């Protein structure tokens, strides 16, 4: 069977492409067209994608906000369930080490310079919300200011409120940066063991994840060597850079972070050796709340979609995208979901990148080859095969000027493919973002529009993926 498209169809597609380019030039555009071939190998699995891969992360102060996590907030529940029927909520961040649990106290929200207060009622509401969404919760305990006895009291209350929705406890946040340990792993580990021993005396089956580092891989390796047999997940954080850095730009965000590749290689190696999964449980564009005009634009949607696939391709167990109120007590620019002053929540651009991954990032990640291997277009591609046997191809064109003419080659003949585009008016757009032709509604629901039908001839199809956009293609079934 030939994988090459007929010369007549190829000629027609070429004419179509030339007309598109001519139309662009007549309208004043000068976008170049880059040609790329993608060949999918459905028999070679790179890695499996965990069912709860998608997650959101919050500072603990979010739990102290009135009616923030509420089983009556159908809009927020819809926004969660659009992404996954069983994702993971991570509660922690810097505020977890500046929070006190007071059973009958009045909830208080403070920046990290103060002390936030959560009470029993707050935890009960979180538990109801988790059950309404079907998501589980990773809960961070205060290692900075609490004693083991206080942490145990909080752990008992959290377990009582969450029940089966509790995924694990973490003891401390970004422990490799805590001044009390002076970058001494042994000092940290001794404190961790003291807290764990106290909690286990009250909750013998309490599950734990950790070490929750900002970037010290040696701490992850050391932690895995002694704690792997008693861990749910190894945890690590990631931000592209700081929001105050001059390089916190759209161009930087969309560039591949080659330094991070080495970190992922080592995390994957450590995870495989220890026999426990690893998760990037706090992540977003630029730490410090993100950069206005960058983190809250359509660029973040393309970055988020690409980044989630990068993690999946390295055997990562999942991601928790940092969301809403930050350690400075204001809503981060990078948040995929935000609450306004009246408590109404809505989706920002990077949420749409998560939506696209929710559609295509299921089952097994497959091997593919992209030629030419070295090209100047900033483009990524990923193939998956879901549990229904359908093939998916995701092409992300992060280039700011070059459109992509993609020849996609599959080993099986398909009569047609369905395509869904991730688009916005411009790379710096903050609204009018769509996936599958539709926006998320005001009540949090999202329904994909009618897909484009793309012809597949002898296993080959051509896709036009404009610059600053992405396309998800499905072959086989609905």
Tens digits of per-residue pLDDT, 387-440?
999 999 999 999 999 999 999 999 876 678 999 999 999 999 999 999 999 999
User: pLDDT (tens digit, 9 = 90+) per residue, 75-88?
Assistant: 999 999 999 999 99
pLDDT (0 to 100) of residue 30: 56
Cα(282)–Cα(214) distance, rounded to whole angstroms?
9
User: pLDDT (tens digit, 9 = 90+) per residue, 431-472?
Assistant: 999 999 999 999 999 999 999 999 998 889 999 999 999 999
Measured CA to CA in angstroms, residue 75 lies from 57, 88, 128, 265 at distances of 18, 18, 15, 38
Judge whether residue 18 has pLDDT over 60. Answer: no
Closest listed residue to residue 3, CA positions, set 397, 369, 313: 369
Domains contained in the chain, CATH given: 7-47+364-475 (2.60.40.1180), 52-360 (3.20.20.80)
Judge whether residue 15 has pLDDT over 60. Answer: no
Cα(197)–Cα(72) distance, rounded to whole angstroms?
37
State the number of CA atoms in the 13 A half-sphere of 389 facing the CB: 3
Cα(473)–Cα(383) distance, rounded to whole angstroms?
9
Judge whether residue 198 has pLDDT over 60. Answer: yes
Judge whether residue 21 has pLDDT over 50. Answer: no
Q: How many residues does the chain have?
A: 478
Cα(439)–Cα(435) distance, rounded to whole angstroms?
7
Cα(215)–Cα(199) distance, rounded to whole angstroms?
27
């Amino acid at each position: 069977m030939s994988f090459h498209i007929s010369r007549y169809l190829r000629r027609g597609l070429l004419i179509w492409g030339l007309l598109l380019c001519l139309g662009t030039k007549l309208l004043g555009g000068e976008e170049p067209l880059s040609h790329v071939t993608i060949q999918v190998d459905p028999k070679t699995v790179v890695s499996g994608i965990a069912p709860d891969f998608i997650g959101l992360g919050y500072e603990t102060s979010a739990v102290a906000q009135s009616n923030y996590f509420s089983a009556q907030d159908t809009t927020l529940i819809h926004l969660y369930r659009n992404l996954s029927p069983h994702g993971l909520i991570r509660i922690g961040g810097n505020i977890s080490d500046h929070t006190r649990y007071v059973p009958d106290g009045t909830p208080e929200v403070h920046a990290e310079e103060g002390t936030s207060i959560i009470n029993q009622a707050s935890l009960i509401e979180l538990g109801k919300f988790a059950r309404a969404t079907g998501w589980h919760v990773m809960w961070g305990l205060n290692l900075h200011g609490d004693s083991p006895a206080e942490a145990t009291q909080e752990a008992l209350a959290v377990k009582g409120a969450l029940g089966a929705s509790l995924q694990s406890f973490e003891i401390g946040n970004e422990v490799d940066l805590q001044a009390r340990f002076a970058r001494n792993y042994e000092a940290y580990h001794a404190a961790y063991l003291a807290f764990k021993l106290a909690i286990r005396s009250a909750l013998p089956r309490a599950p734990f994840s950790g070490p929750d580092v900002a970037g010290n891989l040696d701490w992850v390796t050391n932690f895995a060597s002694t704690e792997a047999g008693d861990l749910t997940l190894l945890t690590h954080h990631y931000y592209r850079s700081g929001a105050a850095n001059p390089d916190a730009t759209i161009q930087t965000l969309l560039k591949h972070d080659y330094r991070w590749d080495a970190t992922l290689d080592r995390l994957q190696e450590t995870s495989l050796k220890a026999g426990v999964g690893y998760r990037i449980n706090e992540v977003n564009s630029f730490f410090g709340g993100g950069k206005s005009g960058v983190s809250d634009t359509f660029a973040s949607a393309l970055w988020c979609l690409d980044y989630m696939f990068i993690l999946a391709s390295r055997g990562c167990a999942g991601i928790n995208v940092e969301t809403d109120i930050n350690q400075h007590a204001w809503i981060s620019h990078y948040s995929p979901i935000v609450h306004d002053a009246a408590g109404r929540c809505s989706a920002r651009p990077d949420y749409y990148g998560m939506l696209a991954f929710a559609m295509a990032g299921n089952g097994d990640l497959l091997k593919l080859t992209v030629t030419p291997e070295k090209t100047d277009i900033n483009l990524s591609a990923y193939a998956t095969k879901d549990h229904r046997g359908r093939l998916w191809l995701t092409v992300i064109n992060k280039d700011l000027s070059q459109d992509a003419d993609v020849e996609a080659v599959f080993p099986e003949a398909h009569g047609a493919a369905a395509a869904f585009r991730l688009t916005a008016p411009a790379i710096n757009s903050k609204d009018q973002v769509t996936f599958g032709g539709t926006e998320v509604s005001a009540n949090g629901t999202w329904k994909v529009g009618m897909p484009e039908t793309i012809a597949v001839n002898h296993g080959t199809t051509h896709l036009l993926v404009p610059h600053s956009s992405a396309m998800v293609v499905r072959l086989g079934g609905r």
